[in-house]
Amino acid sequence: MSGGSDTSAAAAVVAVTSPPRDGAVDAGAALTDRAARVAAALGAQAAALTWDLADEADLESLSRAAAGVLRDRGARVVLFADDDLGRQLAPVVALELRTAAVVGCADIVVRGGCAVYVKTVQGGWLERELTFAAGCIQVATVQIDTAPAAAAEPAAACGPQAPLWIVAPVPAPESAGLRVRRLDLEPPDPKTVDLAHARRIVGVGVGGASAELLDAVADLAELLEGSVGATRPVVDDGHLPKERLIGQTGRTVAPELYLALGISGSPHHVAGVQGAEHIVAVNRDEHAPIVSFSDASFVGRLEDVLPALVRQLRAIRDGVHTPEDPGA
């Protein structure tokens, strides 16, 4: 996957957006906006493609229907949000279109009339740039910031003038020999999942970096079915691996819950957690900057708070009735 790319003026850059579901984060508007920006930079047209939520189609029928429309309408760049569905659909649509998919792009830049797909590697320390060979339809999933405050100036090409293509997937009969059949859905292991996809994160900073506290952090993360993240000094000192780093030079995360333990809240770190739905901080310093970024904060020493929290959560998990813990 290298060399030039051809996105002629008439070619379309298409955002493939799933119909919004109740309670789910809607990345559609942000993705459509991203597609419009890429299209504008390439001198191409922007479009969006979606389907009717009422269609209980399997992944393969949906991919076939989408690929048919994309091929017929001359799509050259096809973008999905880098979420669970996008990561499933993109490779199958790419297969239907006889091309490849770049999954997990942090960014897309246009250089010399060519779309360049940027992926972070080595836990965010390095960036890898990929381009498609000339003539290929370009399929990619791109990380989308769905934080409402981060909404940028809308792209000029975005809006009612960008055509919306709606596909009607027709579930194939059993006899059609589907190549993909979902047997079960295995949730990712929170211990190893890419932090960008973690639902709950226990973030640890210098204030929680002793061996004893790090053990308690791991216990807490397990009890919350969450993942462990860290600030840069914790990673630089070798307490946790680089892929656990959150912030400007690490992962950008968007969990339901971010627990910031012994983290001061430097701009470099906070830059990576602004997409979190809820931030809860524990710090011995009531004036630590993280407090002003948090939905709730508790002032206390982690040496006191963490063991008590772990004890209480274990008791809840095991259904054991414990008297009110004065240390909690």
Ligand X SMILES: Cc1cc2nc3c(=O)[nH]c(=O)nc-3n(C[C@H](O)[C@H](O)[C@H](O)COP(=O)(O)OP(=O)(O)OC[C@H]3O[C@@H](n4cnc5c(N)ncnc54)[C@H](O)[C@@H]3O)c2cc1C
Shorter beta-carbon distance to ligand X: residue 86 or 265 = 265
* Number of chain residues interacting with ligand X (CB under 6 A): 25
Shorter beta-carbon distance to ligand X: residue 13 or 213 = 213
Per the listing, tokens 């339809």 go with: 137
- The strand order across the sheet containing 257-261 reads 227-230, 200-204, 257-261, 278-283, 296-299
| Close Cβ partners of 185 (under 8 Å, ≥ 6 residues apart) | none
Minimum Å distance from CB 293 to ligand X?
12
Shorter beta-carbon distance to ligand X: residue 178 or 206 = 206
x/- map, 251-290, ligand X, by CB under 6 A: -----------xxx-x-xx-------------xxx--x--
Q: Could you give the angle at which helices 211-223 and 302-317 cross, rounded to 10 degrees?
A: 30
- Alpha-carbon torsion 26, 30, 33, 38, what sign? negative
The residue within the footprint of ligand X, chosen from 200, 303, 312, 313 (CB under 6 A), is 303
Q: How many CB atoms lie within 10 A of CB 183?
A: 5
**Distance in angstroms (rounded) separating the CA atoms of residues 195 and 244:** 7
Q: Taking a C-beta distance cutoff of 8 angstroms, is the pair 48, 17 a contact?
A: yes
Shorter beta-carbon distance to ligand X: residue 12 or 282 = 282
- 64: Cα within 13 Å, side-chain hemisphere: 13
Minimum Å distance from CB 287 to ligand X?
9
Span 180-239, contacts to ligand X by CB under 6 A = 205-207, 231-234
Decide: is 248 part of the binding site for ligand X (CB under 6 A).
yes
The residue within the footprint of ligand X, chosen from 301, 316, 322, 325 (CB under 6 A), is 301
Shorter beta-carbon distance to ligand X: residue 52 or 285 = 285
Minimum Å distance from CB 306 to ligand X?
9
Shorter beta-carbon distance to ligand X: residue 227 or 283 = 283
| Close Cβ partners of 31 (under 8 Å, ≥ 6 residues apart) | 15, 16, 17, 79, 80, 81, 142, 144
Minimum Å distance from CB 255 to ligand X?
16
**Distance in angstroms (rounded) separating the CA atoms of residues 187 and 184:** 10
Shorter beta-carbon distance to ligand X: residue 50 or 264 = 264
Minimum Å distance from CB 129 to ligand X?
20
Burial class (CB in 10 A: 0-12, 13-18, 19+), 242: middle
Segment contacting ligand X by CB under 6 A, of 35-43, 180-188, 242-250, 308-316: 242-250
| Close Cβ partners of 231 (under 8 Å, ≥ 6 residues apart) | 203, 204, 205, 206, 245, 246, 247, 263, 266, 269
Minimum Å distance from CB 253 to ligand X?
11
Shorter beta-carbon distance to ligand X: residue 84 or 194 = 194
Residues that bind ligand X (CB under 6 A): 205-207, 231-234, 245, 247-250, 262-264, 266, 268-269, 283-285, 288, 301-303
